[in-house]
A and B are shown apart, each in its own frame.
Chain A
């Protein structure tokens, strides 16, 4: 007996199933190695890298737990492009599934330089992080602006043949228009969404708990808000959407898929359950079998509004 069809296509990247690991939480791939069968998943997005190494934000502290979520302000600490290519990428490719590199920079040219260097490697796709809320330059500064987002996507598009994924921030008035601008600039897919800008205050010291002052909220707390962003984006672009934001179980993943996501990525849940992606994958298979759905593709964007037209 063959199981349901799970294959997901993100541009020229084919994934054996739609369950991915989101950028940031999974480091460069070596840290979690052995704690679950990550090769079983459709794709693994590694931690964002920049052209030069970055120290990130000051410590003490960078992460705060909040109700059903966490706020982080790591600040894109990373080892830089060269060390990534030399020391980390070869090990990550051993997982035997799609490895997606995530890149950031201060200028569109920085992004393009990273993309050009990755073009000759075996990464399956490149995700453009124009949505990190924790850096002063670059990051979200691009993602909140249509033209700046399109400029970065266009620069990366010109530097690589690999599928290009634009990762968007939800901290905008109209995420659909930014997704549309990225698609027009040549993005093969949209990742939706990065974290929500947030702040935690220590009332004893009367100052922000995070050393950076503010951070990005992730985890189940943002899930319904992220589902709606995916719904909005999926209705404004033709390219596939990768849905993420607080996915903890298969039911959550199905919400994103029904809202229009072709694939889903698990993030914060990995900290509680390193095998969360595998658990979600199994849950998706069970759902498809129980509901006699032959292909996961039949569920993408299949949310219905009985009796009325939906608000977009």
Chain B
């Protein structure tokens, strides 16, 4: 084993108590997508095998063999939702090419390894009796959606996917507008979801308004809402639907450690105190969060 591999494996231990593994994952595919997005397909068998939708990987943005040298930018790892599982051993992440970390990752050539830790956090809970999952996603909140949709449809859960964005180019999928059905995203419909898309620029509507219109179609017993996106959207979804259906939300926050140690990424929890997004979340039931105290 080379020194770099030994380092990327983290000495003699490489699996945390939470079940996360530190591995050197090869970049199999690297693709630029619309809206400053970038897709990486990573070969990481153990993480791919064990991951649940909503969980994330914590990624060192520089070459694994350079972990001995501190970079001046992107010193900390970056958390990325697992976007998709690609059997037999692949997982995809979707990143925004904006900051130093995203730029470094997007420019790493295929064939190179990445030092990643995962799967981390708690993902979406998919209960046995679930009939319909209404996924409400906005903007970069789309990242974990393909994995979530696939996990749901493989369990024969009906998936209604409501997606919102400010404008079409802001999301990493092609928008199709044909006929009276409204806008859809063929890339996500292909996974078995009933997709409705609203762009603020074109349809002049927020995804939370779309949910409000359609909420009556869903049933408090067998159906559940799963929301991913900006906090204002999550809060509105919790307000609209919280009393009627169970609502799960996936939260984002700045992280440092990714394992619950540093207490950087905390959010206010119902009944006082804080929960960590990285370890207690990132997915919570909406009634676990104190929305009044949660910063916008």
Contact = CB atoms under 8 A, between A and B. Distances in A.
Interface in B92-119: 117
A272 B69 contact: no
A25 to B, nearest CB: 6
Given A55-B274, A68-B75, A249-B68, A274 B256 contact: no
B12 A59 contact: no
B74 to A, nearest CB: 8
Given A35-B16, A59-B295, A27 B260 contact: yes
Given A27-B260, A56-B263, A59-B295, A273 B14 contact: no
A152 B265 CA distance: 32
B10 interface: yes
B253 interface: yes
B166 interface: no
Interface stretch (A70-78, A117-125, A301-309): A70-78
A31 B257 contact: yes
Contacts of B37: none
Contact of A61 (B22, B73, B254, B258): B254
Given A74-B263, A77-B263, A68 B70 contact: yes
Nearest to A219: B75
Contacts of B273: 55
B234 interface: no
Given A31-B259, A63-B264, A74-B264, A36 B69 contact: no
Given A26-B261, A220-B75, A59 B268 contact: yes
A271 B256 contact: yes
Contacts of A62: 254, 263-266
B292 interface: no
Interface string B240-267: 0000000000000111111111111111
A248 B62 CA distance: 15
Contacts of A184: none
The DSSP consensus for interface residues of chain B is loop
A162 to B, nearest CB: 24
In which size bucket is the chain A interface? 35 or more
A281 to B, nearest CB: 9
Contacts of A56: 263, 266, 274
B67 interface: yes
5 closest residue pairs by CB, A with B: A27-B261, A60-B295, A63-B264, A31-B261, A34-B16
Interface of B: 7, 10-17, 20, 22, 60, 67-77, 117, 253-268, 272-274, 279, 294-295
Given A68-B72, A74-B263, A248-B69, 17 more contacts: A35-B10, A35-B14, A40-B11, A55-B274, A59-B266, A60-B294, A60-B295, A62-B263, A62-B264, A63-B264, A64-B254, A220-B70, A268-B75, A270-B257, A271-B77, A272-B75, A279-B11
Interface of A: 24-28, 30-37, 40, 47, 55-56, 58-65, 67-70, 72, 74, 77, 211, 219-220, 246, 248-249, 268-276, 278-279, 283
